[in-house]
Amino acid sequence: MIQIFLLGISHRTASIELRERLDFSEQELPNATAQLLKRPSVNAVVVLSTCNRSELYVQCTDPKEAQKDLFDFLCEFKKISTDELQPIFYALAGTEAVRHLFRVSAGLDSLVVGEPQVFGQVKQAFAAAEKLHATNSVLNRLFNLSFVAGKRVRSETELGEGAVSISYAAVALARKIFGKLEKLSVLLIGTGEMAQLTGLHFKAQQVQKIFVTSRTPAHAEALAAEVEGEAIPWSQIDTILTSTDVVATATGANKPLLTKSQIDAAMRVRQNRPLFFIDIAVPRNVEPDVGFIEQVFLYNIDDLQMIVDNNLSKRSSQIEKSEAIVEDTVTLFTNWLRSRGAVPTVVALRQSFEAIRRAELERLKPKLASLSVADRARVEEISRLLIEKILLTPTEQLKAISNEATLAAYSDALEHLFELDSHADQPAKSESNPAVKTSTKTPVTS
């Protein structure tokens, strides 16, 4: 019985401390994958590990056995107790496991709905499993269709449009004002979490230069190293203001650090070249009147939150459409898998009829001896076409059966009526991976 099974943990079930413990590093993957393939129930496997989830996708024959094998593997490999793992893991089989993967790939199961990074992470996980020869035709089809679902959601909906974090909203605003950011310089005032996230977002945009300043020089040095920027003394803020393009402030000061007169002076030197302020601090680090200066753009955390809320609302309106795309793709996979369930019986039936055809032609060989070579070839062709015609409708009907129990009953009936052996010619290894174990049971749909 072909089954898709998933066991995992995510941001929905586990704390960051536990997610860190259950994370699979790139260096661990080969050993982890090899150990998983040694488990009796596992025929093929893909390990998906991100900051928000660790999930094991397997093609198996018995979900109950797979759950035990995967649970035991996680406890042993990650040295986590059963009491710690028991409350946080989830297990999904069949269509539910398929749907979950497609929702993950589409960004519907992310901490921030619609975030695009997870799509690339799913592709990387599958590529790594392929490189380790850990997949087979079933998981290949499953993951390739997950990419179809993810691409369709991104191209046919607006689920991923708009910034949905304060720090990224700041970058999105900068792009609206300046267009491309590659030639811009950025000044970060403060080194806390918000300053760090903002700096990392600007780094990802490949800005020309990032300056970092703080009243604690060591903190400025540390953040500057993280964003590949330059730490500057606190005393040089006024000088940097005359040349930088974007200023992001996120300190814990209880009164404004940048005043209107200070920015007026900087703008005179700048000759009114635009200056963009992102004041993420509470209390505010920049005097509100700065926003009235010509060619100065000032946004505070409330402005950014309004943008985030609006974008989240837009994304929410796209969820239903995205879920429909996922369901379409789930149907594609389940139909494909269902048709595979009939393949061994169909193959055995065709082989049986073909054997009968050849035996009869051999028996009639003396009577056909008087025919010309062309006529004998014609008899051969006609007999083969007759078999094809006879088996066409039963084959199509068998592949179209949607109910697993009905498919199994029909397959068993055919095997009994025609004395078929649908296991006889099945290879002992997966067709796409000789290292992967293949079940000797007759596959049926999940």
Please give the angle made by the CA atoms of 136, 140 and 143, to the nearest 5 degrees: 140
How are strands ordered across the β-sheet holding 90-93?
42-50, 53-60, 3-10, 90-93
Please give the angle made by the CA atoms of 136, 137 and 139, to the nearest 5 degrees: 70
Active site residue 51: yes
Provide the 10 A C-beta neighbour count for residue 305.
12
Is the Cβ–Cβ distance between 249 and 280 less than 8 Å?
Answer: yes
Is the Cβ–Cβ distance between 21 and 80 less than 8 Å?
Answer: yes
One of 51, 222, 240, 391 is an active-site residue; which one?
51
Token digits of residue 263: 């920015």
Provide the 10 A C-beta neighbour count for residue 248.
29
Alpha carbons 145 and 326: distance in angstroms, whole number: 10
Is the Cβ–Cβ distance between 327 and 98 less than 8 Å?
Answer: no
Per-residue burial over 172-203, b = 16 or more CB atoms within 10 Å of its CB, e = otherwise = bbbeeebeebeebbbbbbbbeebbbbbbbbbe
Active-site residue list? 51
